[in-house]
Structure 1
Amino acid sequence: MLNRRSALFALVATALLTSGCTTFGAKKEPAYSGPTKTIKGYLRGSPFARLTPSQVVYITAYDATNGNSKPMPVIGETSFTLGRSGYFPIAYEIEIPASKSAPKVALSVQLGLPGQILFSNDRLYSQTTGRTMDIPMREAPPRIRNFRHGL
């Protein structure tokens, strides 16, 4: 027979375990709390590509002031679930720190299901110095499999 203390402990442990479970989808709010700048625009792709409500858009912003010569520091990232069936274009927006230290911003965009990329930037990165940018998207190339150990 369970006493009151062990029943309460079991209830608290169950609540803590279920609250720690996460799902793939939109990320939490950014840790940066200073003044921000918003970059928005549209993701443009094939007009025949069918999008589903469960697909997720992942956007990462990099400081591209020094170009690709060095690893670019991440200055912001966001993700959101489409939540609708349809076709391109997809409206997006991302907030980044509004500082003079990052006058050129590069965006890397991926669209797909968790663990599977269906569409990505047309180029490696799309760069802007302004507040709006339309990004061309294309289907991700198929993954090359390693057949060393058979099929």
Structure 2
Amino acid sequence: MWLCRVVDNKIAVQKYLILAGILAPVCLVLYFLVPYSRTIFRQVLQYLALGAQYGKKFAWVDYAYKNYGNLVRAGDNHVSIAEPEGRQTVDAHGNGFLKDHFYEAFVSGLSGVFNVRDRAEHTRKHDIVAHAFSPGADHGFETHGRQSAKMGKAT
């Protein structure tokens, strides 16, 4: 009796292996061909690409605002917000969102101010370099640059 179960299990495993052997190449072909096809898969945001090609993407986005509201998808990874208040909500410092994992791709060794995802660490690093970008430091650099330019030196 146990021998029949073993044989049945082997047949079931063979069926799955055959199915996997057929589906794997099909999925691989689809993976490479679908991005280049002109079917419905590629036409989702094609009107925006066409508008961008002719310099009229703003008109398409405006049309989308009028038809769909103040929040529209304007690209594969781009959402466009019509109202300034909506943008403030998304970009606000206390919105509770972390930066995307995308920013980790730019970390080589130690993370910097712009690619760190932790809010406390970002604040600490920001406080260290904030003085360099203050209006006083900027004015001092402009003064130094003007004096060097008058004397014919490169800064």
Give the helix-richer structure, 1 or 2: 2
Same-fold status (TM-score > 0.5)? no
TM superposition score category, shorter chain reference: under 0.3
Normalising by structure 2, report the TM-score. 0.22
Give the strand-richer structure, 1 or 2: 1
